[in-house]
């Protein structure tokens, strides 16, 4: 039966048509609205206080008749709706009528008519009436729920209709001059404030055996439950447990189940989910849900029945999240497991005998919901035996295989693919609790075989149109991703049987091959999925190799290559949010688990510059990676070949590894709030390593097996790891350090001594707090240890001071050298300026030029010998008539290249030079040219060049 059919049947049985009340217009009353007033659309004034007093009178003979007439007059007067200003008095009259109904049944009709008019919109004369009369209105509307106590079916049904009209209000039949209709949501708001939902829930207890009235109340509650305020009120009135316990009550129309489930849905969505679950987590509610679900599962055939069945299963799934829900005690868990697996595992249970699911959307959703509830149920360890008895692992493994062609399936290809992915995801949650069952059905072999199919190149076009199939359209990435999740969940159990079985079946080589194939299949569209697949592969390999030396040997160079490939990723991608961070974490974890401890792999990693890549990552200065990288560095430094690689590394601005580590130390201490002066020296020699957190925390006496704050500090920051790495590199021979680095290095060098002194100081303080007095010898030892630690601190401070002073002196010397260089530069510049000034003076002043000429000639004459040797030939060094004081250079006379060599301007050559050269025409290819000696050719060539330059 559909929802619409159920609603039509219910409304067909509404008892309003059976009410035989006569119309108010057939009773002659005094003071009716005249035609003129009706045309004007105005209310005739009516003294409501007089009516109230009339109801409060007693002892008169015709009192009942007068009271009935006054109420009928009231109904006639307000037939177009109640004004907000009169609402409090009208409801007081209604309440007085309700009190008389027990003894005077004649008052049922006027009460019925007043309630009927309440379904019309309220009227306001001023815009502020809604606020002014809000309290009176809320109290009046709240009284409707109290009137449900009147034992009259027609009246109760009319109250429910009135409440439903709040949500489907009709406009008044006639417009009243001077009045406006209140806003459509006003009544709904007033119902929330007046607590109507709570009283309606309480009225359900009065209607357990009255189906028609109960259905009307549920219909009203269905409307009221669309509000969060009403849902909160209903939950406080225990609505969830009260409604759920009666889900299985007889109801031929099916409305009770439909409306009840709708109300439960609204309560779960719009109120405190935890409180609703707590109310439903009792045996009575779960038995009712179990019977309803079982009946709908076995006997439901219509579209509506299947939808309702799935809704009930979702509500059950939400309840099953509560560990305190008696799912097993009610027998619901056993039935759910049976229904989840009957299609895959043959069962002789009469509940599922002959039962078959169709490929309709509702049955498909049911199958997924059953898989989902198994995941929730398996978290309760008491359910494990039921899962074993129901052969859940066997049922789920029927989906972990390649789709068979030409096989008639009850599901479509897209549906089967989605169920397959859902089943593998379910296995990832269930199989870790059922290890024996997993191994019994040879789970590792089945998963590895399925992975081999996922990795091969056969033609398979997945639909990728589900939550689990995201990004898997046209490929097998979704199947691969969930299969790897299953393997990861099993490997993380650290079960020797499972891990050894995987290694024996070649899982390590297969996973390395899959990783390499994912690199070749890289696709921007599925980048996030590929990164997740690669991360899971590395995590699985880490789990298989961590405590298994043969596994590390199998990992070998092929595994190291994929790790190096990931480490070469562009650092900018770490901020992309696609999963590169997770992949890098997985890679560092696999270095720790798969490489360290296997010397061939370590050596290969070093040969391929793996340490350089690690230091490059460390230089990125990302705190989330530093701790793990430094831990790997500490382990790697046990290999004697590592130190040379670390010392050979250079980062940006030629930074060395030692300088990088010391810089990280300073940054860590700054974040920890360690006290240092502006030069990086120790401030407090008694507590040289104390952090701000340690300063704030007071020392508390602890048991011997509890680590103190000083001990915990070693594990909570990276200082200990930096100390270990630098210690293995030898503190004395670290390249590329500045004076500031050496100052910090003094502290790092004494880290272990400082930490030991810190721990002894804690011991001494704890003894004092516990008011224990050590023996004299122990006291002297403690004091000497404390003094020795402080002396080490003072020695380090002294050494740091010497380094700082030495650096200051060196800085002064360097500064002096710079100043000397600057002075020489300035002096040279002054000389150049003076020479240039003299040159300008000679060119602009004839007298200065003549004077310079005379000085030049005098200098030349003074440089010559006084007497000439006999037979000496005199050569003049100056040019006559030249008015210049600049010494002339050597004069060379160069003749042009002979025409016989160049051939004239019209000559053509093999190199096809079409434009004329500067002089001599184009070059000519002559064999005679090659007979010229090398020295002559050199001379001719230089002469030609100088001729061109002169021209």
Report the pLDDT value the prediction gives residue 893, as an integer from 0 to 100.
54
Looking at the DSSP bridge assignments, the partners of residue 180 are: 124
Q: Which residues, including other chains, have CB under 8 Å from residue 396's CB and lie 6 or more apart?
A: 344, 423, 424, 426, 427, 430
Q: Is the pLDDT of residue 255 over 70?
A: yes
The pLDDT of 764-785, averaged and rounded, is 88
Q: How many other C-beta atoms can be found within 10 angstroms of the C-beta atom of residue 183?
A: 14
Of the pLDDT bands very low, low, confident and very high (cuts 50, 70, 90), residue 110 is: confident
Q: Which residue has the higher pLDDT, 772 or 475?
A: 772
pLDDT surpasses 70 at 663: yes
CA distance 462 to 477: 9
Rounded to the nearest angstrom, the gap between the alpha carbon of residue 709 and the centroid of all alpha carbons in its chain is 33
Over range 730-734, report the average pLDDT: 84
Query: C-alpha 43: how far from its chain's center?
Result: 63
The pLDDT value recorded for residue 945 is 37
Mean pLDDT of 159-186: 81
pLDDT of 891 over the 70 cut? no
pLDDT of residue 74: 87
Distance separating alpha carbons of residues 727 and 748, to the nearest angstrom = 9
Structure confidence at residue 464 (pLDDT):
61
Instruction: Give the list of residues 6+ apart from residue 395 with CB closer than 8 angstroms, or none.
Output: 340, 341, 343, 344, 345
DSSP for 87-134, written as a single string: HHHHHHHHHHHHHHHTT-GGGHHHHHHHHHHHTSPPEESSTTHHHHTH
Region for 879 from its dihedrals, namely left if φ exceeds 0, alpha if ψ lies in -120 to 50, beta otherwise: beta
Of 353-357, 431-435, 534-538, 740-744, the poorest mean pLDDT is in 353-357
Report the range of poorest mean pLDDT among 152-161, 202-211, 386-395: 202-211
What is d(CA 901, CA 944) in angstroms, rounded to the nearest whole number? 12
Which string of DSSP letters, residue by residue, matches 340-373? HHTTTS----TTTTT----SSHHHHHHHHHHHHH
What pLDDT is attached to residue 923? Answer: 43
Using a pLDDT cut of 70, give the percent of the chain over it: 83
Note whether 583 and 566 are within 8 A (CB).
yes
Mean pLDDT of 613-632: 92
Q: How confident is the model at residue 44 (pLDDT cuts 50, 70, 90)?
A: low
Higher per-residue confidence, 64 vs 741:
741
């Amino acid at each position: 039966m559909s929802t619409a059919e159920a609603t039509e049947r219910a409304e067909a049985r509404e008892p309003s048509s059976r009410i035989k009340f006569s119309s108010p217009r057939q009773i002659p009353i005094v003071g009716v609205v005249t035609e003129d007033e009706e045309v004007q659309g105005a209310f005739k004034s009516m003294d409501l206080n007089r009516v109230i007093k009339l109801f409060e009178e007693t002892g008169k003979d015709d009192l009942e008749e007068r009271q009935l007439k006054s109420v009928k007059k009231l109904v006639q007067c307000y037939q177009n709706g109640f004004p907000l200003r009169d609402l409090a008095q009208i409801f007081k009259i209604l309440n007085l009528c309700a009190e008389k109904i027990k003894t005077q049944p004649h008052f049922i009709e006027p009460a019925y008519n007043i309630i009927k008019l309440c379904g019309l919109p309220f009227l306001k004369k001023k815009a502020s009436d809604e606020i002014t009369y809000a309290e009176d209105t809320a109290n009046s509307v709240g009284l409707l729920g109290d009137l449900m106590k009147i034992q009259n079916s027609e009246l109760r049904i009319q109250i429910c209709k009135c409440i439903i009209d709040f949500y489907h209000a009709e406009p008044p039949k006639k417009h009243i001059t001077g009045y406006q209709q209140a806003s459509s949501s006003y009544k709904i708001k007033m119902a929330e404030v007046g607590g109507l939902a709570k009283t309606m829930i309480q009225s359900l207890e009065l209607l357990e055996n009255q189906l028609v009235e109960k259905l009307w109340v549920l219909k009203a509650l269905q409307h009221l439950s669309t509000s969060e305020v009403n849902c909160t009120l209903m939950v406080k009135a225990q609505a969830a447990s009260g409604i759920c316990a009666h889900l299985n009550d007889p109801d031929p129309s099916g409305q009770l189940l439909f409306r009840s489930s709708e109300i439960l849905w609204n309560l779960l969505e719009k109120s405190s989910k935890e409180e609703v679950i707590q109310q439903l987590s009792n045996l009575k509610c779960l038995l009712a849900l179990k019977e309803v679900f079982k009946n709908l599962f076995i006997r439901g055939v219509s579209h509506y029945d299947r939808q309702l069945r799935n809704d009930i299963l979702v509500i059950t799934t939400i309840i099953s999240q509560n560990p305190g829900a008696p799912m097993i005690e009610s027998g619901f868990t056993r039935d759910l497991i049976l229904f989840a697996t009957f299609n895959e595992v043959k069962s002789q249970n009469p509940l599922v005998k002959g039962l078959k699911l169709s490929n309709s959307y509702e049955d498909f959703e049911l199958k997924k919901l059953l898989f989902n509830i198994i995941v929730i149920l398996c978290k309760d360890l008491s359910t494990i035996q039921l899962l074993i008895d129901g052969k859940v692992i066997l049922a789920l493994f029927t989906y972990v295989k390649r789709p068979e062609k030409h096989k008639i399936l009850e599901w479509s290809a897209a549906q089967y693919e989605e169920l397959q992915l859902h089943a593998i995801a379910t296995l990832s949650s269930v199989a870790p609790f059922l290890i024996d069952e997993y191994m019994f059905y040879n789970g590792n072999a089945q998963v590895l075989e399925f992975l081999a199919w996922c990795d091969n190149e056969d033609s398979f076009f997945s639909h990728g149109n589900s939550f689990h199939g995201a990004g898997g359209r046209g490929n097998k990435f979704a199947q691969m991703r969930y299969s790897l999740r299953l393997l990861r969940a099993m490997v993380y159990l650290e079960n020797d049987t499972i891990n050894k079985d995987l290694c024996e079946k070649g899982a390590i080589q297969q996973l390395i091959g899959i990783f390499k194939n994912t690199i070749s299949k890289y696709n921007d569209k599925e980048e996030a999925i590929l990164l997740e697949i690669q991360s899971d592969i590395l995590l699985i390999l880490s789990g298989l190799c961590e405590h298994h030396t043969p596994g590390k040997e199998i990992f070998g160079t092929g595994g190291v290559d994929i790790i190096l490939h990931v480490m070469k990723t562009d650092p900018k991608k770490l901020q992309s949010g696609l999963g590169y961070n997770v992949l890098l974490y997985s890679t560092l974890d696999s270095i720790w688990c798969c490489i360290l401890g296997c010397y061939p792999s370590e050596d290969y990693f070093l040969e391929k510059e793996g340490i350089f890549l690690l230091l490059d990552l460390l230089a990125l200065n990302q705190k989330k990676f530093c701790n793990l990288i430094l831990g790997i560095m500490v382990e790697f430094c046990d290999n004697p070949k590592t130190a040379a690689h670390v010392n050979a590394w250079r980062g940006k601005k030629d930074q060395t590894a030692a300088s990088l580590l010391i810089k990280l130390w300073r940054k860590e201490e700054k974040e920890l709030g360690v006290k240092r002066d502006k030069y990086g020296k120790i401030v407090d020699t008694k507590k040289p390593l104390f952090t701000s957190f340690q300063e704030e925390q007071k020392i508390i006496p602890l048991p011997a097996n509890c680590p103190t704050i000083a001990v915990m500090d070693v594990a909570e920051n990276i200082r200990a790891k930096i100390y270990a790495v630098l210690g293995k590199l030898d503190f004395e021979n670290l390249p590329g350090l500045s004076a500031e680095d050496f100052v910090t290095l003094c502290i790092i060098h004494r880290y272990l001594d400082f930490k030991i002194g810190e721990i002894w100081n804690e011991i001494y303080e704890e003894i004092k707090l516990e008011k224990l007095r050590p023996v004299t010898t122990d006291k002297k030892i403690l004091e000497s240890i404390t003094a020795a630690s402080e002396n080490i601190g003072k020695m380090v401070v002294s050494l740091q001071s010497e380094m700082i002073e030495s650096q200051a002196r060196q800085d002064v010397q360097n500064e002096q050298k710079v100043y000397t260089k600057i002075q020489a530069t300035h002096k040279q510049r002054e000389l150049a300026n003076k020479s240039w000034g003299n040159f300008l003076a000679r060119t602009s002043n004839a007298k200065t030029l003549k004077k310079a000429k005379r000085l030049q000639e005098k200098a030349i004459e003074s440089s010559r010998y006084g007497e000439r040797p006999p037979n000496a030939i005199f050569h003049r060094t100056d040019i006559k008539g030249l008015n210049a004081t600049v010494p002339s250079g050597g004069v060379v006379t160069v003749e042009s290249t002979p025409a016989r060599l160049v051939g004239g301007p019209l000559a053509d050559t093999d190199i096809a030079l079409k434009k004329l050269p500067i002089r001599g025409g184009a070059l000519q290819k002559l064999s005679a040219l090659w007979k010229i000696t090398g020295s002559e050719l050199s001379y001719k060539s230089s002469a030609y060049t100088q001729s061109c330059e002169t021209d």
